[in-house]
Amino acid sequence: MSARPYNTTEEAKFKEAVDRRVQEILRPRGFVVPNMQNDPPETDPTNLWMRYDGRLRGRYWNGTAYVYVDYPMRADITSPPAVPASPAAPAVGPVPVTYRATWTATWSQTYQGSNAKRTDSIGEQQVVFGASGADSFGQQKALVGFDYASLATALASSTIQKVELTLVSLGSTWSTVQVYFGEHNLTAEPTLFDATGLSLRKSANARLAVGAQTIQLPLAFAMALRAGTAKGLAFEAPSSDREFYGRVAGVGSGYTPPQLTITYAK
């Protein structure tokens, strides 16, 4: 008994593969209409589709434009469904604006170690702190006032970011001097250096050289100004050591008096 030889050439294999593919293409299969929520763009070749509400929808070209036709597949459908509204965008609150404002001192006064005013031109026009050892004024200190109402109004409901103090140092015993800052809640210069009106005494300090310079103060200083519990600054020395003696330009000195620059957002 002889068997028919099996053709295994590359050409035969290719022909067999093509025949299988043709048979697959010719095989009867179900027709699937695509489901779409919205009409496809007119650049899409699709001309028949099923909407999610049960309508069979199609279109054809009439030579000028596309004509759309709906074929209801359910008796209860008489018109196209309403297009769902887009969800409303979430409300966005106001974006805080950052401000940087400067307030110049409106009054200044130096006091002697006895707490009484120093009434000479230096005491009235300069901010003196510490003991020089060359006069009878003792361990001096000073108060500086600002437009506290304007400060409180501007800073109301704000977030304070930075507090800077600009001073013009007029001299000291050595080339630099250490000065200590506190706050006062006085609306005008008192007759005596009144410790009961002071807070945060000597809670910040800075080293000054002769000339104009800007230093940074703790945020707590501006927070007290915002709250209305402070209206200005106090300048003091921790001891009578001459290292802590210095003079800063005050109101009426001919130089720029102390200035507060506050950066805040609201």
Which DSSP string do the residues of 165-234 spell out, in sequence order?
EEEEEEEESSSEEEEEEEEE--SS--SB--GGGEEEEEEEEEEEESEEEEEEE-HHHHHHHHHTS--EEE
Task: Kindly report, residue by residue over 87-146, the tens digit of the pLDDT.
Answer: 788 888 888 999 999 999 999 999 999 999 999 999 999 999 999 999 999 999 999 999
> Please, is 213 exposed, middle or buried when counting C-beta atoms within 10 Å of its C-beta (0-12, 13-18, 19+)?
middle
Residue 79 confidence (pLDDT): 63
Distance, in Å, from the CA atom of 206 to the CA atom of 164, rounded to the nearest integer, reads: 12
User: CATH classification of 98-265, choosing from 2.60.120, 3.20.20, 1.20.950, 3.30.200?
Assistant: 2.60.120
Polymer length of the chain? 266
Residue 2 confidence (pLDDT): 43
Distance, in Å, from the CA atom of 96 to the CA atom of 85, rounded to the nearest integer, reads: 32
Rounded to 5°, angle at Cα 237 from 232 and 238: 120
Residue 35 confidence (pLDDT): 81
Residue 200 confidence (pLDDT): 83
Within 13 Å, how many C-alpha atoms sit on residue 77's CB side?
A: 15
Contact between residue 246 and residue 236 where contact means Cβ atoms under 8 Å apart: no
Contact between residue 214 and residue 165 where contact means Cβ atoms under 8 Å apart: yes
Residue 198 confidence (pLDDT): 85
Distance, in Å, from the CA atom of 158 to the CA atom of 97, rounded to the nearest integer, reads: 10
Distance, in Å, from the CA atom of 160 to the CA atom of 254, rounded to the nearest integer, reads: 31
Which residues of the chain are modeled with pLDDT < 70? 1-8, 29-31, 72-84
Q: What are the domain boundaries of the chain?
A: 35-72, 98-265
Residue 246 confidence (pLDDT): 97
Distance, in Å, from the CA atom of 113 to the CA atom of 123, rounded to the nearest integer, reads: 12
Distance, in Å, from the CA atom of 82 to the CA atom of 94, rounded to the nearest integer, reads: 35
Residue 260 confidence (pLDDT): 98
What is the separation of C-alpha 2 from the centre of its chain, rounded to a whole number of angstroms?
A: 94
Residue 110 confidence (pLDDT): 98
Residue 77 confidence (pLDDT): 59
Structure tokens, 123: 């005491």
Residue 16 confidence (pLDDT): 81
Distance, in Å, from the CA atom of 151 to the CA atom of 221, rounded to the nearest integer, reads: 12
Distance, in Å, from the CA atom of 231 to the CA atom of 252, rounded to the nearest integer, reads: 19
Residue 1 confidence (pLDDT): 42
Residue 233 confidence (pLDDT): 97
pTM: 0.66
Contact between residue 222 and residue 141 where contact means Cβ atoms under 8 Å apart: no
